[in-house]
Amino acid sequence: MQTDTPWSALPARDHLLAGAVDAAGDPVLDVVVPVYNEEKDLEPCVLRLHDHLARTFPYAFRITVADNASTDRTPQVAAGLAAALPRVRSYRLEEKGRGRALRTVWSHSDAPVLAYMDVDLSTDLNALLPLVAPLISGHSDLAIGSRLARSSRVVRGSKREFVSRAYNLILRSSLAARFSDAQCGFKAIRREVAQRLLPMVEDTGWFFDTEMLVLAERAGLRIHEVPVDWVDDPESTVHIVRTATEDLRGVWRVGRALAVGALPLDRLARPFGDDPRDRALSGVPGGLARQLVGFCVVGALSTLFYLVLYSLFRLGAGPQIANGGALLVSAVANTAANRRLTFGVRGRGGAVRHQAQGLVVFAIGLALTSGSLAALGAAPGSPSHGTELAVLIAANLAATVLRFLLFRAWVFPERAAGSPAAPAAPVAPVAPVAPVAPGASVGPAGHADETHHERGNTR
């Protein structure tokens, strides 16, 4: 699988051919089972998972036990399984945290498709092949199991049902998430995507999954959802209140970072032409069609915003002052929206310069609209408020066309062909690392230890 690519774009998704990929015995799929003090359930889980994959999975696979600083016999059990089964290996981390475990193992794995599931195997294993098949075929970038899909069959208490649905409702309302189930411990990701995405994910605990999905979705990556059959683990000792509090803090942190454009999501973009919507049109410069659509949407909203402001300002000021104030406020909002949505500029770099240039464009629009109002005032008779609005709409349409041309050619010019794309913010990439030997110990990652107990990593 391709991984050695510039930061400007991800490689095109390729179909993983069974004969070409695993001819040398290299695994196509690496299933990680994060555990903490699971000496009782670890062995039956791994044996059942191994048997299922050996019977039903058509590609080479590996099972990796990621021990989160267990204090019981879990490390010994994991080492015994790794010694007895050639397709099983174990990692030992000296700090707790499911997110930390997944980040560490996935960053070291050589498999092109990476997955994880909880040790209690609450999710029916028959969903594993449908989960990873879209990643193997090159159709999708990430895949998640969903307990909230209409065709899913779920057995769990009313308390957990309420918490899960409330949490996903919060994600939809606050972060505009469109995936249905962020908490299900049954997910997969392509390796080249993980290498770009994981350095951007800060959380090392339960919120790791949600943060990863939100960033992937905002970057335009394709997330495949699989309905699952799921049975709750009645012995789970997850501290729901404490975990929910940490998740809400994570939602606030990620939402704030997205709002200010602090995340270099352009590093997760697919190359031009990999998406059917990106097909080049004959005689149309690259990106023009998409920019026109974005500019029109932003322009329509800005015009409505401007008219509302003008009507409000007109209650206490003359037409010239009302027009100038409404146009100034809407111009600042318009420049910010076009910067992010139409021309795809992320991060804070150049934001002040872009706003200054936008104000120059605003001055040109002000001259057009003010001139129209002056001409209307010089006309005989007393024009009505409706006539003023009609004239302003016509003047704004002319100013809008000029604004787009100036934005595209001067404020947000495209890079010259062949010039390398500079990253939006310095984020240290995770380079491909050779697999760690079975039973190897992975040291502290430099993050604070988590204090709440995790049983089965099931929420």
User: What is the Cα gyration radius of the chain?
Assistant: 27
Q: Cβ contacts of residue 196 below 8 Å, gap of 6+?
A: 10, 267, 268, 429
Half-sphere exposure of 228 (CA within 13 A, CB side): 31
Q: Cβ contacts of residue 231 below 8 Å, gap of 6+?
A: 122, 154, 155, 156
* Coil/strand/helix, residue 231: strand
Helices (H), 22-154: 42-56, 74-84, 98-108, 128-137
Instruction: Please tell me which residue in 67, 118, 203, 209 is annotated as part of the active site.
Output: 209
- Burial class for 353, CB neighbours closer than 10 Å (0-12, 13-18, 19+): exposed
Q: Cβ contacts of residue 380 below 8 Å, gap of 6+?
A: none
Q: Could you count the other beta carbons within 10 Å of the beta carbon of residue 303? A: 17
Nearest to 140 by CA among 7, 21, 22, 270: 270
Three-state secondary structure string covering 375-432 = HHHHCCCCCCHHHHHHHHHHHHHHHHHHHHHHHHHHHCCCCCCCCCCCCCCCCCCCCC
Report the alpha-carbon distance of residue 10 to residue 12 in Å, rounded: 7
Q: Cβ contacts of residue 310 below 8 Å, gap of 6+?
A: 322, 323, 326, 389, 392
Report the alpha-carbon distance of residue 236 to residue 243 in Å, rounded: 13
Q: Cβ contacts of residue 83 below 8 Å, gap of 6+?
A: 438
The residue type at 433: V
Element (H, E) at 53: helix 42-56
Half-sphere exposure of 321 (CA within 13 A, CB side): 7
Written as six digits, the tokens of 154 are 């779920």
Active site residue 209: yes
Query: Catalytic amino acids?
Result: 209
